[in-house]
Structure 1
Amino acid sequence: MRKGLRSTRFRVALTSFLASIIALGIVSAWLVLDAQHRLEDGAAQLARARATAIVQLLNTGATPADLGMLVRDSIYEVTTQSGERLASCPGLRSGAIAPGGQIEFGDNVRILDPGDIDLSWQVSVGCAPVLGENPEGNGLRLHVSATASGDSKYRVFGAAVVDESGQAALDSVRMTLLVGVPVVALLIGVIAWLAVRRSLRPVEAIRSEVAEIGAHDLSRRVPAPDSGDEIAKLAETMNTMLSRLDTAVTRQSRFTSDASHELRTPLASLRTQLEVLLAHPDRLDWHDACRNALLDVTRLQDLVADLVLLGKLDNSGPERFSPVRLSEVVESCLSGRQGVWARVEGDPVVPGNRGRLERLLRNLVDNAQRHTRTGVEVAVSTVDDFCVLTVTDDGPGIPADDRERVFDRFVRLDDGRARDEGGAGLGLAIVADIAHAHGGTAEVDRHDGGARLIVRLPSAERRS
């Protein structure tokens, strides 16, 4: 029960119900009050018209005693300045039409109590017919207008009641709205509940599917409705996220498997050498054994360093780069190397991390030197707001089918070569990751008589 009360459907329905009943209540109250005001304003205008008509009769020489024959279907009262009643219609047993029995000018309201009116008197004959419908005057509400005759000799009170048919219609409307507004608001709340329930069905389907997706089953996707609304976009976004997670988990699993395999080989070699050395200390040369063990440790150290760098590249967020001159990177990386020639056109500058850019070029040159026959050429130029770094060798080249996967991790195209010469297959993967981290690309270009690897990096002028 509490779970249902906290659901989105209930909250939206409750909000719709409350908003509807408040809005409809305010509008209905305003309409009723405006209609009531119009009815009472009409009665007040009629009272003023009756008072004015009697004053005109008195101004033309008629006396209060003559009004019984001259004025019909009206409610009025004429008094002296001191308040003595001279004429009235209808006849009142007690009190006066004047509110509170006082002589006041302007518009006022007078409530006649039961028994105030006596329709059996002669002066009550010919008064407003509405009085006959309420012979006892029970709660009769009069709108009274007070004025004076032209010679200020008399005080004249004209009165009128609200139109009974209009008041009855307004009372009927008021009762209808009093019952109808809550019913309509409740209906709106129910409609909102049903609409939200229907709208949230795809969300429930998405939630159920996500709840069943485990870390080892990321190939599943949530159902995407074809409505084209926000929920459909949510489903598309979640499917995109699941696809990225699936790719990342698959890549991580493959990376972990490959890394463990690469680490196992030098560790096994190192352990074997040490076990043989301990078992037969008199048959082995300690210097050669330590030298071979040191080579395995160095290979392990390099592999761990590469793995740590790849982990940093995978998990690093946006970095703050500084301008780096590629000519200085080339000079630093090629210093002391034999068989490597450099050609730098202009003074290309890229925003980046100098240490990682040096690592990128060093890996490219190391890879080229392992396969070249005579030498390696490094060229740097600027093309279409990109700084292009090209490393070319005259080795056996890279087959067309392998040009895409050569940048994958732990990929060695020459599987038959010796491990101490070939490395672990992480060099070009590091090149690609560093290039992507700098907003660039790494690719293998078509080249006859060797391999040509090209890295494109956005220049500092393009970024600015």
Structure 2
Amino acid sequence: MPRFFRSTRFRVAVTAFVASAVALGAVAVWFVLQAEGRLRNAAAQLADAHADAIVQLLNTGAAPGDLSLLVRDSIYEVVDRGGAGVSVASCPVLRGASLTVYDADVTLRPFEFDRADRRSVGCAPELRGVDDDLALHVVHATSGDSRYQVYAGVQLDPEGQAAVDSVRAVLTFGVPAVALLIGVIAWLAVRRSLRPVEAIRGEVAEIGAHDLGRRVPAPRSGDEIARLAGTMNDMLARLDEAVTRQSRFTSDASHELRTPLASLRTQLEVLLAHPDRLDWRHACENALLDVTRLQDLVADLVLLGKLDHAGPDRLEPVPLSEVAEAVAAGRAEVEVRGTPVVRGHRSRLERLLRNLVDNARRHAVSRVVVEVSAVDGWAVLAVTDDGPGVPEADRRRVFDRFVRLDDARARDDGGSGLGLAIVADIARAHGGTAEVEAGSRFVVRLPELKTS
């Protein structure tokens, strides 16, 4: 199928054309039928009056042959039911035609009745000088003795019928024309409406993985397309941020992995080059330390990757007091106020607290305190040390990956810069937050699980 016929413009235009044609056609048919119905109702009422007048004459004993003298300005036919349905009187005199129908339309042609016959003289005025077909609406009635069937006809209003015919002709050609016009208007309107979408599509098609700083044009209409453009720009901003963060993360990870690998390789090269001058045991211990550091770093990277792509699994109710007692026993003081319970991953919550405690112990002078409490529907886990604390300017970025403050870098037992990033990601995966308060107080807030 050609591309044009699969376009939204074409489909909307065709739908508008078909829908408007059906709707307008239904209205047009209803209007014409109503107009014709009114014409026939008017003719039927008058024909009923004529039939009733003839029936009354027959009921009073008048003979059918006398009706031409007694009834004026009427078109009728009387049939004798006792005479095998023979027509015994008619006005005008019919030639091979008949009015014997029940509440229906009959068309009399000029050659089907005799205007010259004296019995046709008193018929309806519309028969005089008529040269065209005569459209009648015929009704029937029965005489009181049920011997005669009377059929009376009245001509449909010629002017009204002409008006109905004119309306029918206009609607027959006008409805498709109007429907086509509506389809064209719909096509033009959709084309104009989709012009910003085409601009958005063209811009997105040109944006590559290394050009995520570009943005799609946003129309000022404030409609759905404007909101689509805003959503696309938000998505591009998130992609740009994610790609930038991933690139920075990859660069930092490469740097962090390069250092222990280089140290390990250097030690092994020196050991192989001078096997008699070095202490093999001491060299292997140093190499094992580098391997352990690499193993811990890779494990942290794997965990961060899992947290980036999935939420916590195997969720279960976890009492934070039990987590605090299990992790901080012998390493920090524990203060429990209340018994908050959260829904989460126990091992990852333990990892969160362990990272906080390890970070506090690296910077503490003599004391580390773990506090567990419940505040306003949140389970609060706080770790405080008596160290120098985090400068206010660094309290937000300290949770970024591979961020280590200068004093931490100077310590021999400094971490890789992933511990607090893991804390923030685990808290976020559990629907919570992590932040630094008052310098050396790290606070994690998690939604509290209400237990009945």
- TM-score, normalized by the shorter chain, greater than 0.5: yes
Unpaired stretches in structure 1, ≥5 consecutive residues: 100-105
* Aligned twin of 2:37: 37
* Aligned twin of 1:90: 92
* Aligned twin of 2:431: 439
Picking from 445, 448, 452, the partner of 1:456 is 445
Picking from 111, 117, 139, the partner of 1:115 is 111
Once the two structures are TM-superposed, the CA of residue 211 in structure 1 deviates from its matched residue by 1.0
* Aligned twin of 2:382: 390
The answer on whether the counterparts of 2:312 and 2:345 sit within 8 Å (CA) in structure 1 is: no
Answer yes or no: is 1:333 the counterpart of 2:327.
yes
* Aligned twin of 1:265: 259
Amino acid of the residue matched to residue 457 of structure 1? L
Separation of aligned partners in 1, 2:24 and 2:330: 87
Once the two structures are TM-superposed, the CA of residue 418 in structure 1 deviates from its matched residue by 4.7
Separation of aligned partners in 2, 1:341 and 1:208: 61
Summarize the alignment of residues 16-35 of structure 1 with structure 2, pairs less than 5 Å apart.
Answer: 16-35=16-35
Answer yes or no: is 1:178 the counterpart of 2:180.
no
Once the two structures are TM-superposed, the CA of residue 75 in structure 1 deviates from its matched residue by 1.1
* Aligned twin of 1:403: 395
Once the two structures are TM-superposed, the CA of residue 416 in structure 1 deviates from its matched residue by 7.4
Q: Could you tell which deviates more after superposition, 1-10 or 417-426?
A: 417-426
Separation of aligned partners in 2, 1:230 and 1:452: 46
Amino acid of the residue matched to residue 171 of structure 2? L
* Aligned twin of 2:5: 5
Answer yes or no: is 1:193 the counterpart of 2:187.
yes
Once the two structures are TM-superposed, the CA of residue 325 in structure 1 deviates from its matched residue by 1.9
Residue-by-residue CA offset, 1:353-392 (whole Å, 9 max, x unaligned): 1111111111111111112222322222222222222222
Once the two structures are TM-superposed, the CA of residue 15 in structure 1 deviates from its matched residue by 0.7
The answer on whether the counterparts of 1:17 and 1:185 sit within 8 Å (CA) in structure 2 is: yes
* Aligned twin of 1:252: 246
Summarize the alignment of residues 60-459 of structure 1 with structure 2, pairs less than 5 Å apart.
Answer: 63-78=63-78, 80=80, 81-82=82-83, 85-99=87-101, 107-113=103-109, 115-135=111-131, 138=133, 140-150=134-144, 155-317=149-311, 319-337=313-331, 340-414=332-406, 417-418=409-410, 420-447=412-439, 451-459=440-448
Q: Could you tell which deviates more after superposition, 187-196 or 384-393?
A: 384-393
Q: Could you tell which deviates more after superposition, 286-295 or 218-227?
A: 218-227
Secondary structure at 2:18 match in 1: helix
Once the two structures are TM-superposed, the CA of residue 287 in structure 1 deviates from its matched residue by 1.3
The answer on whether the counterparts of 1:218 and 1:245 sit within 8 Å (CA) in structure 2 is: yes
Q: Could you tell which deviates more after superposition, 11-20 or 29-38?
A: 29-38
Once the two structures are TM-superposed, the CA of residue 148 in structure 1 deviates from its matched residue by 4.3
- Aligned-residue RMSD, C-alpha: 2.4
Q: Could you tell which deviates more after superposition, 183-192 or 323-332?
A: 323-332
Unpaired stretches in structure 2, ≥5 consecutive residues: none
Q: Could you tell which deviates more after superposition, 25-34 or 69-78?
A: 69-78
Residue-by-residue CA offset, 1:442-464 (whole Å, 9 max, x unaligned): 111115xxx22122222222x88
Once the two structures are TM-superposed, the CA of residue 176 in structure 1 deviates from its matched residue by 0.7
Once the two structures are TM-superposed, the CA of residue 318 in structure 1 deviates from its matched residue by 5.5
Once the two structures are TM-superposed, the CA of residue 299 in structure 1 deviates from its matched residue by 0.8
Residue-by-residue CA offset, 1:263-322 (whole Å, 9 max, x unaligned): 001111111111111111122111111111111111111111111111111111364521
Amino acid of the residue matched to residue 174 of structure 1? R
The answer on whether the counterparts of 2:395 and 2:435 sit within 8 Å (CA) in structure 1 is: yes
Once the two structures are TM-superposed, the CA of residue 229 in structure 1 deviates from its matched residue by 2.2
* Aligned twin of 1:102: none
- Summarize the Cα distance change of 1:133–1:280 in structure 2 as closer, same or farther, 3 Å threshold: farther
- Summarize the Cα distance change of 1:300–1:131 in structure 2 as closer, same or farther, 3 Å threshold: same
Separation of aligned partners in 1, 2:174 and 2:213: 54
Separation of aligned partners in 2, 1:85 and 1:428: 112
Separation of aligned partners in 2, 1:438 and 1:201: 43
The answer on whether the counterparts of 1:350 and 1:458 sit within 8 Å (CA) in structure 2 is: yes
The answer on whether the counterparts of 1:98 and 1:110 sit within 8 Å (CA) in structure 2 is: no
Once the two structures are TM-superposed, the CA of residue 128 in structure 1 deviates from its matched residue by 1.7
Amino acid of the residue matched to residue 328 of structure 1? E
Once the two structures are TM-superposed, the CA of residue 169 in structure 1 deviates from its matched residue by 0.9
Q: Could you tell which deviates more after superposition, 413-422 or 432-441?
A: 413-422
Q: Could you tell which deviates more after superposition, 291-300 or 70-79?
A: 70-79
Amino acid of the residue matched to residue 10 of structure 2? F
Separation of aligned partners in 2, 1:121 and 1:198: 74
The answer on whether the counterparts of 2:93 and 2:114 sit within 8 Å (CA) in structure 1 is: yes
The answer on whether the counterparts of 2:97 and 2:113 sit within 8 Å (CA) in structure 1 is: no
TM-score between the two structures when normalised by the length of structure 2: 0.92
TM-score between the two structures when normalised by the length of structure 1: 0.90
Separation of aligned partners in 2, 1:435 and 1:119: 106
